[in-house]
């Protein structure tokens, strides 16, 4: 929910200037790659990436893939926004705890993006699960 809130403000027809589409703002190339990976070689059109169910599945699968590969939520969120290649460069140049690492992200947009997502996660967790003890370690 947090990514959809930040990416599109829950607008299923959203399209970014960079070409990302739908609720989860999936880049077509990434969406096609994830669909092929999930559906064992099947292909998807850009039109079908816009479809709500597909868009949520692709965005959620991609963030899951990033978390699995990074083993780090904060860096995975940054990767969703700025791309894994950029985050890999940043990780090499700075080793710091998550809360400090965020402050050194060189892209202002990505720094704000990560902070917003983390804030939304805490709010949604608080509202839905009544969890009032959230930290960056979760």
Q: Per residue in 19-29, pLDDT tens?
A: 999 999 999 99
Burial 114-129 (b: 16+ CB within 10 A, else e): bbbbbebbbeebeeee
Q: Which residues are CB-contacts of 43 (< 8 A; sequence separation ≥ 6)?
A: 32, 35, 36
Residue 15 CA, chain-centre distance (Å), reads: 16
Residue whose pair of structure tokens reads 């060189």 in the numeric block? 106
Is pTM, for the whole model, over 0.75?
A: yes
Per domain, the residue ranges of the chain are: 1-71, 73-138
Rounded CA separation 28/36 (Å)? 12
- The reported pLDDT for the residue numbered 38 is 93
- The reported pLDDT for the residue numbered 138 is 46
Length of the chain: 138
For the question of residue 7 being annotated catalytic, the response is yes
Q: Do domains 1-71 and 73-138 have the same CATH topology?
A: yes
User: Domain 73-138 is of which CATH architecture?
Assistant: Orthogonal Bundle (1.10)
pLDDT in tens, 114-123: 999 999 998 8
Among 1.10.760.10, 3.30.930.10, 3.40.50.720, 1.10.530.10, name the CATH number for the domain at 1-71.
Answer: 1.10.530.10
**If pLDDT is split at 50, 70 and 90, which confidence band does 124 have?**
confident
Q: From the candidates 7, 103, 109, 119, give the one annotated as an active-site residue.
A: 7
């Amino acid at each position: 929910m947090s990514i959809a809130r930040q990416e599109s403000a829950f607008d299923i027809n959203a399209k970014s200037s960079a070409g990302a589409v739908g609720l989860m703002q999936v880049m077509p190339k990434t969406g096609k790659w994830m669909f092929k990976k999930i559906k064992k070689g099947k292909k998807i059109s850009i039109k079908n990436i816009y479809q709500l169910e597909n868009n949520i599945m692709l965005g959620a699968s991609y963030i899951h893939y990033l978390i699995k590969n990074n083993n780090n939520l904060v860096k995975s969120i940054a990767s969703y926004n700025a791309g894994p290649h950029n985050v890999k460069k940043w990780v090499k140049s700075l080793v710091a705890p998550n809360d400090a690492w965020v402050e050194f992200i060189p892209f202002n947009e990505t720094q704000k993006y990560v902070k917003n997502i983390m804030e939304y996660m805490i709010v949604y967790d608080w509202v839905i699960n009544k969890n009032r003890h959230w930290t960056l370690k979760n």
